[in-house]
Amino acid sequence: MNYFAHALPFLDRPYFMAATGVPDWLTVVDRRVRVRTKHAEPFLADADPCVAAVARGLIQHLRDDARFHDTRAFAETCLELTARVRDTLGQEAGFRPFFLGHLLTELLLDATLAAEQPARLEEYYRVLGSVDPAAVQAAVNRMAPKPTERLAPMIAQFCLHGILWDYLEDGKLWLRLNQVLRRVQLPPLPAGFVAVLPDARRLVAGRRRELLEGIPA
């Protein structure tokens, strides 16, 4: 799952909602920081309501990801997209097809949800903008084995740039995919890869309900 799918059921709970994005934000800006369920659980009843909400949101993310990645629909969609990527990029594509099959499933699920509910994506960004990134970072640093100073700036930039809107347009999504590939030190996608995206969107959209089976709605 990606940011919007994680957050969508919790738009009325700002710090909880923001915390559902924390594991993915940390993967982007500070991979050495990992907050597991065992780290967050002692803070579920913290006297500081912000800290307690962040702990609950983190645990929700981890639970939902575990359910999502265990579904048959996820495995089959990733496999289908991996095959399509390999067919497009050729046999010399290395690890990119498998990585992109997984990544596209998650990003295009967010795109599907955003296309269905654009007003809810606007609300997501409004709610995220009401949250104090420094407070989220401080809460995470109380739980994490290692502290980070990179999370708060990441949340602010993520909110400022409205990244999830880019998933709705093939050309902008291609640019975002290449940003991710650059970050994990994989070769970029050629411009022609954009032609893969319309059918990939339809595939993920067609399995939307199965992909979110057992996930809070």
For the chain, 217 residues long, give each residue's pLDDT as a single digit of tens. Answer: 999 999 999 999 999 999 999 999 999 999 999 999 999 999 999 999 999 999 999 999 999 999 999 999 999 999 999 999 999 988 666 778 999 999 999 999 999 999 999 999 999 999 999 999 999 999 999 999 999 999 999 999 999 999 999 999 999 999 999 999 999 998 899 999 999 999 999 999 999 999 999 888 7
What is the pLDDT, as a whole number, of residue 114?
Answer: 98
What is the pLDDT, as a whole number, of residue 96?
Answer: 86
Helix (H, G, I), strand (E, B) or coil at 62: helix
Report d(CA 163, CA 46) in Å as an integer: 32
Backbone angles phi, psi at 85, to 5 degrees: -65, -45
What is the pLDDT, as a whole number, of residue 6?
Answer: 98
Using the CB atoms, write b or e for 161-195: b if 16+ within 10 Å.
Answer: eebbebbbebeebbebbbeebeeeebeebeeebbe
Domain range list for the chain: 3-211
CA distances from 46 to 20, 22, 130 (A): 18, 18, 22
Size of the chain in residues: 217
What is the pLDDT, as a whole number, of residue 24?
Answer: 97
